[in-house]
Amino acid sequence: MRIEIKKLLIFFFCIFLIPFFYAQKVTEPISTTNVDFIKYNYKIGLELLLQEKFKEARVKISTGLEASKKLKNKNLMGFGYQYLSDCYNQQKNYQLATLNLKESLHIFTDLNIEKEIYNCNFKLGRLYFKISEYDKSLESYFISLKIAEQNKNELQVAGNLQNIGEVYLLTPDLKTARINFNKALVIYKKLNNEEGIIGSLTNLGASYQKEGSRNNNEALVIKAIELFKEGLERARKDGFKRNESIFLGNIGSSFRRLKKYDESLEYLFKALQLKIELKRFSSAAHSCNDISETYLEINNLVKAKEYALKAVEYSKELNIHQERYASYLLSKIEYRTRNFKNAYNYLKKYHQIDDSLFSIKKITKINDLKIKYETEKKNLKIEAQQSNIALLASKNQNKNQWLFFGGIGLLSVLLITILSYSRNNAKKEKARQEKFSHELLQSQEDERTRIARELHDSVGQQLTLIKQKSQNLQQDEITILTNNALDEVRSISRGLYPALLKELGLSESIEQLINDFDEQTNLFFSMDIDAINSCFTESISLNFYRLIQECLTNIVKHAKAKSVTISIKREANTILTLISDNGKGFDINDGKKKYSLGLKTISERIRIMDGNLSIDSKLGSGTSFIFSIPIKK
């Protein structure tokens, strides 16, 4: 009996202990340094990424990456960085996506895993393209293209050629872009890859559309429409809604370039409706801008403004390029409605957005200017050599004549030569002085432009980068200080070079200049300015603008005036300008005043423009500058 009780107690004791052993087994932690654990986290992270649960995906992938670092498994580390890059890419944080992908590429290059080297370079090409670093984008694509060609993978070759063409399309090197698109199209047709064919038709059409618009060549625009319509038919047949919306928009914008506005609006509205259905709001902003531009061309300013504002709404935080272009359209619309203040504000916003973007066009323009400069320099050298040769020939001929005539003839020639020499010297001296003055003003202008460009392209970009980093780190004080510094740099840059002169025209730029003086000083300004935008060439317009600027600066610095009157009138073939103040005036016969640097600069600018200057001033009675400039278009 006791034995049975003992056995029964042992049995119950064992049953009592089972839950404890089970609990211990269940709660035993999984090793965080094992390969299965890392792969499990990557798998879950990628699944969450497909569900667009970015934060949770990033946590899982980061957990796997940290574990791979502890395990010192370089292969898994490479995949971890690549998956993190994919995550940041989908969140549109392209800078962090690029940094992680570069780390992944470095690891796979060390491990010599060709497949992943290809994947990293291909993805890097797309990321660099998104952040407008086109030279690096091409470099990455060329590496992945080389690998694809070595492996004879035609689909990958076509994909790289397509992407390389897209970079050249933006730079824009349209001829090189088309070479790559055509090569890709041939491969896609060979592989019967419908999606690739449609993409190539899109890009080929875009290249013809751009070139046709740039050169006013209707035949090229019509060629673009034919390619777009072929692509539209294929997209509808295969149910590619996204591509269908792109083709509709491209056909609409092409018809606008042919001034077929009804057809343009018909296609553009179809494109907009489809893009909204697909929730492709960034692309919808593009269509709204196209619609606005079409209405602007037919002078329907109400509708143009409506769709430009919609473009701003759709592009906000999604497509900075379309937001920038919408601001530019709104500035043109407000200008047309004579609302110059709003026009200026929208144009200012356009430039602010433009300042934050890197554009390869600037580099291209700088290179073009450099080539132009070197060419002109060589031409001037050749002309100087030819002039010297001609001068030597002339001297030899004169010498022979002197010997031939002899005697009295020699004396006459000598007398004429001396008189001519003195006269020419006087003319040359005057010409040298005038040339020196002109070159001095031009060098000042060039230096201002260079400094403005340096401030814009170097200091401005560095400050923008600091601002972005401080925003990412939520350092509000640094963000505010950086933003203030950026505004100051932009203000100085525009003061050095009046970029608005090209955008608003001469009349409105002078009005804005006067308004700036009005805001910055205690003087009362009154103005009466005719429309003179089309009266001068670009260089004379800049000189005229500087002339007004220097007159007003002299008044602010020296006149001690309370009010200033500016009148700019178009009289027949002349622009007549009066700038007067009620300040202290000066004695115009005072040599020190008459030959001051300010007045000499004003006189030189008027001389360069072939104008006439009259100064009326007396002590205590204010000063009036009256100058007439002939119209030169």
| Model confidence pLDDT, tens digit, residues 461-478 | 666 767 677 777 777 778
Half-sphere exposure of 581 (CA within 13 A, CB side): 24
Residues belonging to the chain: 633
Per-residue confidence band for 393, with pLDDT thresholds at 50, 70 and 90: low
| Separation in Å, CA 560 to CA 521, 583, 596 | 11, 5, 17
The model's confidence at residue 282, banded by pLDDT at 50, 70 and 90, is confident
Reply yes or no on whether the pLDDT at 25 is more than 60: no
Q: Which of 90-99, 223-232, 388-397, 616-625 has the lowest mean pLDDT?
A: 388-397
Q: Give the HSE-up count for residue 185: Cα atoms under 13 Å, Cβ half-sphere.
A: 17
Q: What are phi and psi of 44, to 5 degrees?
A: -65, -40
Answer whether CATH 1.10.645.10 is correct for domain 501-630.
no
Kindly give the interhelix angle for 74-90 and 35-50, rounded to the nearest 10 degrees.
10
pLDDT of residue 603: 85
pLDDT tens for residues 61-74?
A: 999 999 999 999 99
The pLDDT value recorded for residue 443 is 61
Residue 586 has pLDDT above 60, yes or no: yes
- pLDDT on residue 46: 94
Q: Which residues of 331-370 are buried (b: 16+ CB within 10 A; e: fewer)?
A: bbbbbeeeebeebbebbebbbebbbeeeebeeeeeeeeee
Give the helix ranges, DSSP H, for 192-217: 194-214
3-class DSSP assignment, residue 463: helix
Tokens of 393: 């020939």
CB distance 339 to 367 below 8 Å: no
Flag the least confident range among 416-430, 539-553, 617-631. Answer: 416-430
Q: What is the DSSP letter of 457?
A: I
Lowest mean pLDDT among 107-111, 112-116, 521-525, 590-594: 590-594
Percentage of the residues of the chain whose pLDDT score is greater than 90:
32
pLDDT band at 13 (very low <50, low <70, confident <90, very high): very low
Tell me the pLDDT of the chain averaged across its residues. 80
pLDDT, tens digit, for every residue of 241-275?
989 899 899 999 899 989 999 999 999 999 999 99
Per-residue pLDDT at 48 exceeds 90? yes
Q: At what angle do helices 241-257 and 261-277 cross, to 10 degrees?
A: 160
Beta carbons within 8 Å of 460's beta carbon, 6+ residues apart: 355, 486, 489, 490, 493
pLDDT of residue 110: 95
Q: Higher-confidence residue: 3 or 515? A: 515
pLDDT over 60 (residue 223) = yes
Tell whether the model's pLDDT for residue 21 goes beyond 50.
no
Model confidence at 632, in pLDDT bands (50, 70, 90)? confident
Question: Does the structure show a pLDDT above 80 at 141?
Answer: yes
pLDDT exceeds 70 at position 492: no
State the pLDDT at residue 105: 93
What pLDDT score was predicted for residue 290?
92
* pLDDT value for 361: 43
pTM of the model: 0.48
**Preceding omega of 172 cis (within 30 degrees of 0):** yes
pLDDT value of position 363: 43
Torsion sign across C-alpha atoms 368, 374, 379, 384: positive
> Which residues lie below 8 Å from residue 598, measured CB to CB, with a gap of 6+?
550, 553, 554, 558
The predicted structure's pLDDT at residue 359 = 45
**pLDDT for 512:** 86
Is the pLDDT reported for residue 18 higher than 50? Answer: no
Mean pLDDT, residues 26-46: 72
Q: Where in the chain is the domain with CATH 3.30.565.10?
A: 501-630
CB atoms within 10 A of CB 229: 16
Q: Return the ∠ at Cα 318 (arms to 313 and 323), rounded to 5°.
A: 55
Is pLDDT of 490 > 80?
Answer: no
Residue 342 pLDDT level (bands cut at 50, 70, 90)? confident
| In the predicted structure, residue 375 carries a pLDDT above the cut 50 | no
Write the CB contacts of 161 (distance below 8 Å, at least 6 apart in sequence): 145, 180, 181, 183, 184, 187
- Predicted confidence at residue 19, as pLDDT, reads 42
Tokens (6 digits) for 307: 């769709």
Q: Specify which residues 625 forms β-bridges with.
A: 579, 615
